[in-house]
Amino acid sequence: MTPGPRKAESSGAPVRRPAAPAEAPSEAPPGTAPSDAPGAPPEDESLALWPGSTVPLPHADLAVGGVPLSELADRFGTPAYVLDEHEVRRRCRAYLRAFPDTEVLYAAKAFLCRAMAHWVREEGLGLDVCSAGELELAVTTGFPPERIVLHGNAKSPDDLAAALRLGVGRIVIDSTSEIARLAAAVPPGGRQKVLIRVVPGISAGGHAKIRTGTDDQKFGLSVADGSAQHAIARILGQPRLEPVGLHCHLGSQITTVKPYLSAVRRLIGLLARVHDQHGITLPELDLGGGHGIAYRPGEPALDIACLAAKVRAELARGCAAAGLPVPRLVIEPGRAIAGPAGVVLYRVLAVKQTGAHRFVAVDGGMSDNPRPALYGVRYAPRLVGRRSAAAPEAVTVVGRHCEAGDVLASDVRLPGDIRPGDLLAVPVAGAYHLSMASGYNLVGRPPVVAVVDGRARLLVRRESFADIQERDIGL
């Protein structure tokens, strides 16, 4: 990506965007352009996908949360994830505003650390977890277990034991075989609320690998082949399980409302069948997450306000037609809350011209961001901390790992004089980066630094060589 036009480059202090009007825009739903960033639309359009606090500084630096990125790189090293606390909180509030009377669960798999759990809880969201690890971490921050929902297509005995011991609000049943196993784990006299994960037979999502609404995949219970109906009958035969609703998660990176409306219609159909067959009304409908965001300028994002309005209308219409009460709505956004609040910083280590290709190799790679390798996702890195007059050239930003496919950003435009020592910053790095980071090549995972109001605070420290060595028992 070409560094965009800068403004107000004369003073050394972070230049703030105009203050947000007191009312709505700063709380506009995530994903709605141009108010995706808080306050007025960004002065510099090339910063539209960056956290709302991002401002240009002298020497082509950027400040996020009032802290210059080059200062963060010097202080915390690279690679490093930077998270704008205000942006996370603003996105949580925007969801609550767009979805009144809805339980909004933040999907912890997108990114979780203690501070994140704390912010999300303070903002009034619940949590969707899919392991004992995510659950226990959240609970250590005082997250009320009753506001937590446990997911997973293969929950381990430890996952179920932790959920029951800590008293999570609901457990999502994902397979028939799980029913008896869960019922047996519930202590005598206890009754666990459960949701049933339903596969509605809808194809939606940004990449085949992240589509979970089609019948032929590993998650949930299909309506088409009757397994969902069969599972519900089985659950009703288990006195220690209390079915409270249906759940579906269509996939991730969904940028249109239509698939959600199809899901609502199919789930209402199933609610009606359950009512007719068993004489019960399940009071909850959990539509999962999957709300798509843009990673590069010009990419589409799901319009959350539109989603909220249309889902509510479809629920009201469908339930009235089926003679059912409107169920309580639950949603589980992850990416749309954490993703745009994060930036990742890399230092350039090598620049190489091979034939037609110019490679810019940085000190991170697929171990801190496997998403390009997994899903072919494209990012928009930007040179920060140094002004360049060189014309932009097409380059491929690659990582440091022993894989030809370790590409972080293919065919992006960076100044032609890019060189070792330069700092690159990549926006929209808050979701599914650290949470999917690996230990490949024994490279320690990067730290997470929170920025807010001109202050930087380490949330998760860098994984050191000592950390890695400690786990290795030796000969």
Identify which of 202, 331, 316 has the alpha carbon closest to the alpha carbon of residue 259. Answer: 202
Of 52, 289, 364, 372, which one interacts with ligand PLP (CB under 6 A)?
289
- The string over 28-54, giving b where at least 16 C-beta atoms fall within 10 Å of a residue's C-beta and e elsewhere, is bbbbbeebbbbbeebebebbbbbbbbb
Q: Does 291 bind ligand PLP (CB under 6 A)?
A: yes
Q: Strand 392-398 relative to strand 284-286: parallel, antiparallel, unpaired?
A: unpaired
Q: Which of residues 78-117 bind ligand PLP (CB under 6 A)?
A: 107, 109-110
Q: Does 255 bind ligand LYS (CB under 6 A)?
A: no
Residue 71 annotated as binding site? no
CA distance 150 to 130: 5
Q: Does 252 bind ligand LYS (CB under 6 A)?
A: yes
Cα four-point dihedral sign 12, 78, 423, 40: negative
Based on CB atoms, which residue is closest to ligand LYS, 371 or 401?
A: 371
Q: Does 288 bind ligand PLP (CB under 6 A)?
A: yes
Number of residues interacting with ligand PLP: please give it, by CB under 6 A.
16
Q: Does 35 bind ligand LYS (CB under 6 A)?
A: no
Q: Which tokens is 345 given?
A: 């910083």
Identify which of 406, 455, 465, 471 has the alpha carbon closest to the alpha carbon of residue 83. Answer: 455
Of 214, 229, 252, 262, which one interacts with ligand PLP (CB under 6 A)?
252
Q: Which of residues 368-387 bind ligand LYS (CB under 6 A)?
A: 371
Amino acid of residue 391: A
Coil, helix or strand for 424?
A: strand
| Site track 417-436 with ligand LYS (rule: CB under 6 A), x = hit | ---------------x---x
Residue 290 annotated as binding site? yes
Using CB distances below 5 to 8 A depending on partner kind, what does residue 371 bind out of ligand PLP, ligand LYS, none? Answer: ligand LYS
Residue 169 annotated as binding site? no
* DSSP letter (8 states) at residue 99: S
Q: Which of residues 194-233 bind ligand LYS (CB under 6 A)?
A: 210
User: E strands along 269-320, which residues?
Assistant: 284-286
Q: Which tokens is 453 given?
A: 């109001």
CB of 186 closer than 8 Å to CB of 164: yes
Binding residues: 290, 332-335, 371, 375, 403, 432
Which residues would be at the binding site for ligand PLP (CB under 6 A)?
107, 109-110, 128, 151, 249, 252, 288-291, 332-336
Which residues would be at the binding site for ligand LYS (CB under 6 A)?
109, 210, 252, 371, 432, 436
Binding residues for substrate: 335, 371, 375, 403, 432
